[in-house]
Structure 1
Amino acid sequence: MTTAWHALAQLVSWPDLTEIRSSCGTGRALGSARGEIAHFHSDRSVDLLLTSRAIRHYERDLRRSTAIRLVPGSHWVTVRLECESDVSLLMTLMSAALRAHQDQPDALAASAARCNDRLEAALAHRETL
């Protein structure tokens, strides 16, 4: 079992999360009562919807982590899962994401439109032009 699928199996057992269809069409997703919250795009990559407020709150720590990728303007963070400590980081961030969505329920619908999988592809395309 890959690191991402191991993390997915753990998270699916949380009472606030269920496995759902990914709106971006890539990989598998998790949803909370308020909507999509995580996209598992590959064996080693997960996009997690935090909200802009949560990202600002944790930004300094997120930028220090080699497992985290932030995309400018996105409410999603990408977590690269290469080892068990990355899975632990994802679990911590999932708790923060669930809390953020309880505090700001309206932010979820506005920010959920595009995960980093699509945004990163668009940014990479612009950089090659």
Structure 2
Amino acid sequence: MTLASRAMTRLAVWPDLAETRPSCGTGRALGAARCEILHFHSDQDVDLHLTDRAIRRYEDHLKDTTAVRMVPGSRWVTIHLEVDSDIDLLLTLVSVALQAHMNGHVTGDDTLSTACNDR
């Protein structure tokens, strides 16, 4: 079982997430009531939808993590799953994303790209 499929299996049972069709048309996706949260694009790469505020708040930590790739102007971060601890990082960031999106629309988010990083 790949790391991505293990992560998907763990996240699929979270009550606030449901499998949905990815808007980019690639892979599998999990969404919450208000938006898409994750796109599983390959056996190793997952795009996670954060808010602008969450990215700004955790930007220094995200930049220091080798598993995370950030694209300027995007509300999505890509997590490259190579080791088991990357799944733990992903689960933590999904929790952050859910909290951020449940708190409602954040000013400034509408000016950023809504497309995931798999483009």
TM class by smaller structure = over 0.9
Does the residue aligned with 1:42 lie in a helix, a strand or coil?
coil
Q: Tell me if 1:80 matches 2:80.
A: yes
Q: Could you say which residue in structure 2 is the equivalent of 1:124?
A: none
The equivalent of 1:113 in structure 2 is: 114
Q: Displacement of 1:88 after TM fit? A: 0.1
Q: For 2:39, what is the secondary structure of its paired residue?
A: strand
What's the secondary structure of 2:8's corresponding residue? Answer: helix
In the alignment, the residues of structure 2 paired with residue 64 and residue 113 of structure 1 have an alpha-carbon distance, to the nearest angstrom, of 24
Secondary structure, in 3 states, of the residue corresponding to 1:15?
coil
CA distance in 1, matches of 2:43, 2:118: 14
Residue in 1 that maps onto 2:56: 56
TM (norm. structure 2) is 0.93
Q: Secondary structure at the match of 1:116?
A: coil
Instruction: Report SS of the residue matched to 2:118.
Output: helix
Which entry has the higher C-alpha Rg, 1 or 2?
Answer: 1
1:52 shift after superposition: 0.9
CA 1:112–1:36 in structure 2 vs 1: closer, same or farther (change >3 Å)?
farther
Percent identity over the alignment is: 58
Q: Which has the higher contact order (CA 8 A, sep 6+)?
A: 2
Q: Which runs of 4+ in 1 moved over 3 A?
A: 109-112
- In the TM superposition, what whole-angstrom CA distance separates every residue of 1:91-112 from its partner, at most 9, and x where no partner exists? 00000000000123367x8457
Q: Which runs of 5+ in 1 are unaligned?
A: 119-129
User: What stretches of structure 2 of length at least 5 have no aligned partner?
Assistant: none
Residue of structure 2 equivalent to 1:65: 65
Count of aligned residue pairs for this structure pair: 117
> Distance between the aligned counterparts of 1:22 and 1:112, measured in 2?
15
